[in-house]
Structure 1
């Protein structure tokens, strides 16, 4: 979470949040208060403007998997570390975090299976195997983050879970989310409890960020605007191919079904649908 006097930015993993945070620090100042954490009560004081970030679910899954293939990130550590993992749960800072951890302790017996899926960043078969495991109830405890304990896992994927956890729940307050048991209730929950003023889509990062800053009445000099539009991304994985390379029909549908809330709220298209649209556009231009 990035906090300034005017802006609070909540960081959803693998949505360009490091890049957004760096840009915000240059423009409005502020500080990083842990990474990817929920907003505590004290940041809701005053007239702060809340920002969040999102990403195309199909691209997000590829990016997250590729990051794991690089041996990076907390999810990689959770999935590839055998036994019970105690690091990176915030237990030194937060008593409730360690209490939840102890209550939910269960060794990860699937590390070799997970590690097999990280064998080659250019192997679509490895990626598809990972996607199927990620959405298989038998492997959810390995993921951590409390995902396996909430009824939303029956119909919503990890991306949707992280979105709801970060943007609709204040720190250590999960009661309303825990009561969600259907997709319809999930939509209503988000409508009632989402406190984010503007979302920045990874696919339109700079433009969305500048629009959000204008909405927050933050002026950005024209010279800085031009510079930001040319700035290279930060903290990216080493993948070189687009989502269309990695998905087959089954895994594309799986992601679309499990993260349907994100798809529909932000109007994302599956890789095959995007490819069809691009082909149709090229055909029109050729006439």
Structure 2
């Protein structure tokens, strides 16, 4: 996460975090205090504003997979290695929980299957197979992160799980998620426990960031905004196609079902339905 005296940015994987962090460094100052880690209790003792970032769920899965096609990322590193692995258990953030997860782990016997799904960033069929595996409980232990052991995995996809763990749980805790068994309970938990004041959508990153800062009392000069808008994004993958290239009806519905919370909360539309909404605009930035 990125922390200053007045602001904390909690980093949700593959939602423009590296770019946002770079911009915040220039705009408000601060320091990196871990990466993709939960907020600790000390952050809530002051009057900090909390920022979080999100992304179109259909695009998020493509981005995570495409990053792996470039041989990058924690998920890629874990699932493509056979046997046991020490990586990706969160040793830096919570060594005790990491040890528990390692002791409960089983050897990865699916490394070859995973490797084949990463064969070509332009292969939509490979992506669809990868996505089906990501939502198949037989493969959940391969990428760890506590997902397969959480009851939430029966209800929601990895993207929603990461969202809930980072934005509704504090100080290394995630046990509150295990009591969630229905979509209605998921919505209620998010409504009661999400502590993010302003969300930044990857699709509207700079504009949402400027607005969030202005609503939080930070002024951004017009020239600074223009300079930022001219910058290239960072930490991107090599893919050249949008989500509609990769999805068929079945995989589109899979994400619609498994990440329904984020789709409905942030007003995202499935790739196959976007042509039916030519006048669609992203909703106004949401506040928790």
Q: Structure 2 vs 1, CA of residues 153 and 223 (structure 1 numbering), >3 Å: closer, same or farther?
A: same
Aligned counterpart, 2:166: 166
Aligned counterpart, 2:146: 146
Residue 208 of structure 2 is aligned to residue 208 of structure 1:
yes
Contact 1:5 1:48 in 2 (8 A): yes
Gaps in structure 1 of 5+ consecutive residues = 282-287
Aligned counterpart, 1:224: 224
Partner Cα distance (2:171, 2:165) in 1: 9
Q: Secondary structure at the match of 1:278?
A: coil
Structure 2 length normalisation: TM-score?
0.94
Q: CA deviation at 1:42?
A: 1.1
Partner Cα distance (2:202, 2:280) in 1: 24
Partner Cα distance (2:273, 2:107) in 1: 40
Q: CA deviation at 1:111?
A: 0.4
Tell me which moved more, 199-208 or 269-278.
269-278
Partner Cα distance (1:108, 1:182) in 2: 30
Aligned counterpart, 1:284: none
Aligned counterpart, 1:132: 132
Q: Please list, as runs of the form range in 1=range in 2, the aligned pairs for 1:45-194 lying within 5 A after superposition.
A: 45-91=45-91, 94-194=94-194
1:18-60 CA distance string (max 9 Å, x none) = 0000000001111111110111111112110000000000111
Partner Cα distance (1:58, 1:142) in 2: 22
Flag the structure with higher helix content.
Answer: 1
Q: CA deviation at 1:181?
A: 1.1
Tell me which moved more, 101-110 or 208-217.
101-110
1:255-275 CA distance string (max 9 Å, x none) = 111000000000000001112
**How well do the aligned residues superpose, as a CA RMSD in angstroms?**
1.6
Aligned counterpart, 2:274: 274
Gaps in structure 2 of 5+ consecutive residues = 282-288
Residue 274 of structure 2 is aligned to residue 261 of structure 1:
no
State how many pairs are aligned: 281
Q: Secondary structure at the match of 2:52?
A: strand
Contact 2:94 2:172 in 1 (8 A): no
1:165-224 CA distance string (max 9 Å, x none) = 000001222232121111110000001100000100000000000010011101111210
Q: Secondary structure at the match of 2:277?
A: helix
Contact 1:152 1:182 in 2 (8 A): no
Contact 2:90 2:145 in 1 (8 A): no
Partner Cα distance (2:182, 2:280) in 1: 36
